[in-house]
Chain A
Amino acid sequence: MTTYYTKDHEWIRVEGDTGTVGITTYAAGQLGDVVYVELPETGAKLARGDDFAVVESVKAASDVYAPVSGSVLEVNSALSDAPETVNAAAEGGAWFVRVKLADAAELSGLMDEAAYAAFCEGL
């Protein structure tokens, strides 16, 4: 199980050909209190870089981009009723979607935990 990060502050935790996607603790902190999460439908096809979800806080509404291509296996519908989970457990319980990876090679373009930490440090 390996976790990768994007410059748009998404994380993806990969097990076999399945990835779990969410936004990072850093992103959730920058957004402030999250009040709404709009998720895609199960079965939706995502291309890398697609905006597939929207996260809305009291300050802003931001798109969430697909770190890799794939199809949506499951969405975390619990976020609709409890969007504040994103602030409490951004990289845990507040995952957005599980996707079936279309091309595992795409992962090589992402950052690992240390690289992402350094990236955030420089912001």
Chain B
Amino acid sequence: MRYLPLTCEDRASMLATIGAKSADDFYADVPQSARLKTKIAGLPDHQGELAVERYMTKLAAKNRSASSGPFFVGAGAYKHHVPATVDMIIQRSEFLTTYTPYQPEIAQGTLQTLFEFQTQVAALTAMDVANASMYDGSTACAEAAVMAARVTKRKKVILSGGLHPHYAAATRLLCEAQGLTVVQLTVAIDGEGELARSVDGETACVIGQSPNVFGTVSDLSGVAKSAHDKGALLVSVFTEAVSLGLVTPPGEMGADIAAGEGQSIGNGLNFGGPYVGLFACREKLVRQMPGRLCGETVDADGKRGFVLTLSTREQHIRRDKATSNICTNSGLCALAFTSHMTLLGGKGLKQLAELNHEAACELADALGALKGVEMLTPRFFNEFAIRTPVDAEAVLAMLDEAGVVGGVRASRLFPGDHMGDVILVAATECTTAEDIAAYAAALKEII
């Protein structure tokens, strides 16, 4: 898009046309009480480009890049390697500038990649059908809950004690706005099975996570059976998509809806967003699925082509009765996901998952060998929780001084749940033996 600046004459002529003296007149309807009386303290006047650049460079230097040293943060966002090819593909102008087009079938390339994305997500989660993405894992989880309520015509949603609290918060927000009741089970490191005991005849769905926020890998088959016995659905959530290269996928555990975060594949940490939500379900539920769906077809000449399909679920047709208000998906992030997944293939994904698990095992061995460090996660993929003999906030601050970003303190995610001495630690294929040695050495000094 071109930038077309206005001249002072342009502005004067536009103002004269609409009969306004200045742009300030546009705000005449904003009540005086809602307006700022003085300048915002600390906010300087506008500056020249060079001055702004200098200032911003100084600010940016305060950031520490995840690649600049030993880095062990996970808990929903993971530092993985993104091959250069991914950036090259997504920056092609045909892809980079396309929003889901208003006449979607005109952009066959975009639709084809979304179709391939759906195919990959369905294969990854072992579900029948996947949509063309959601905003992120937390909104995918929330949409799964309200979808389950539509399917079952019930109003109760039960969240496991191992569900990522950000996912739980997004789910509560959307559900409660729609008059659903959300039951949160007590926070537990290894408590997904509790869902099986909590489900009753009023329950629309139970939402379990594996690996959960503490990294615990669980078999949700038993939960699925209990849920189905009561006529409820199982929503199986994941925050680490790479785990699906090794652990049993949601579909094989009997999940009715799989919802998770796809950032790990093809997408950088991006300061926390944009990310890409993955959403898949059983075929018989597809009419109640939110989001866009691309389908494969043939044109009048019998040639393969792609279309948006089942659009009557969507808000441009169904208005307030649409299955969701999501219309624009995370198209570019989905493209990055698909580009990387295509490069990996099924075998590559499994190898990548193995590298992650091996790195996490080495990290667990190194940290677990330290006197006073307690390993809390019984079965993990690439992250786990440890208990330190000293307050976690202090430990992480001291690790930081030693150049190690040591993880996420659990009390940030679960304030008030007596987790002041718990740290969530993650390793990926980017974690080197030197990183692990540096972590163990620094932690040994501290405790």
Binding site for B on A (CB under 8 A): 36, 38, 41, 56, 60-61, 63
Shortest 5 CB-CB distances between A and B: which pairs?
Answer: A61-B312, A56-B312, A61-B318, A61-B317, A36-B287
Q: Is B153 in the interface zone, CB < 8 Å from A? A: yes
Q: List 11 A-B contacts (CB under 8 A).
A: A36-B287, A36-B312, A38-B287, A41-B153, A56-B312, A60-B312, A60-B317, A61-B312, A61-B317, A61-B318, A63-B321
Q: Which of B290-322 contact A (CB under 8 A)?
A: 312, 317-318, 321
Nearest B residue (CB) for A35: B312
Cβ of A41: which chain B residues have Cβ within 8 Å of it?
Answer: 153
Please indicate which of the listed interface residues B287, B312, B318 has the most CB atoms of chain A within 10 Å of its own CB: B312
By a CB distance below 8 angstroms, the chain A residues around B317 are: 60-61
Bound-complex Cα distance A103 to B380 (A)? 62
Look across to chain B and name the residue whose beta carbon is closest to the beta carbon of A61: B312
Q: Which residues of B contact A38 (CB under 8 A)?
A: 287
**Count of inter-chain pairs, beta carbons less than 8 A:** 11
Q: Look across to chain B and name the residue whose beta carbon is closest to the beta carbon of A63.
A: B321
Q: How far is the CA of A17 from the CA of B318 in the complex (A)?
A: 34
Closest Cβ of chain A: how far from B87's Cβ, in Å? 40
Interface, chain B (partner A; CB < 8 A): 153, 287, 312, 317-318, 321
Central interface residue in A38, A56, A61, A63, by most chain B CB within 10 Å: A61
Least distance between B311 CB and chain A CB atoms (Å) = 9
Chain B neighbourhood of A61, CB < 8 A: 312, 317-318
Taken together as a complex, chains A and B put the C-alpha atoms of A61 and B318 apart, in Å, by 7
Nearest CB of chain A from residue B299's CB, rounded to whole Å = 16
How far is A63 from B317 in the complex, measured between Cα atoms in Å?
Answer: 12
For the complex formed, measure the closest distance between the CB of B62 and the CB atoms of chain A, giving whole angstroms: 52
Q: CA of A41 to CA of B231 in the docked complex: distance in angstroms?
A: 14
- B-chain residues with CB within 8 Å of residue A63 when the two chains form the complex: 321
Q: In the complex, A41→B318 CA distance in Å?
A: 21
Distance between Cα atoms of A56 and B317 in the complex (Å): 11
Tell me the complex Cα distance, A60–B317, Å: 7
Closest to A44 in B: B153
Within the complex, what minimum Cβ distance (angstroms) separates B116 from chain A?
A: 25
- State the CA gap A109–B318 with chains docked (Å): 29
Interfacial chain A residues near B153, Cβ < 8 Å:
41
- Inside 8 A of A36's CB, which chain B residues have their CB? 287, 312
Closest B residue to A54 using CB positions: B321
* A118-B318 Cα distance, complex, nearest whole Å: 30
In chain B, what residue has the closest Cβ to A38? B287
CA gap between A38 and B313 in the complex, in Å: 12
Known: A61-B317, A63-B321. 9 other contacts (CB 8 A): A36-B287, A36-B312, A38-B287, A41-B153, A56-B312, A60-B312, A60-B317, A61-B312, A61-B318
Question: How far does the alpha carbon of A33 sit from the alpha carbon of B287 in the complex, in Å?
Answer: 17
Closest to B317 in A: A61
Complex contacts, B318 vs chain A, CB 8 Å: 61
Q: What are the residues of chain A within 8 A of B287 when measuring CB–CB?
A: 36, 38
Q: Please, how many angstroms separate the alpha-carbon atoms of A36 and B284 in the complex?
A: 12
How many angstroms between the C-alpha atoms of A38 and B286 in the bound complex?
Answer: 13
CA distance A56 to B318 in the complex (A): 10
In whole Å, how far is B312's beta carbon from the nearest beta carbon of chain A?
A: 4
Shortest distance from the beta carbon of B231 to any chain A beta carbon, whole Å: 12
Query: How close is B249's CB to chain A, nearest CB, in angstroms?
Result: 28
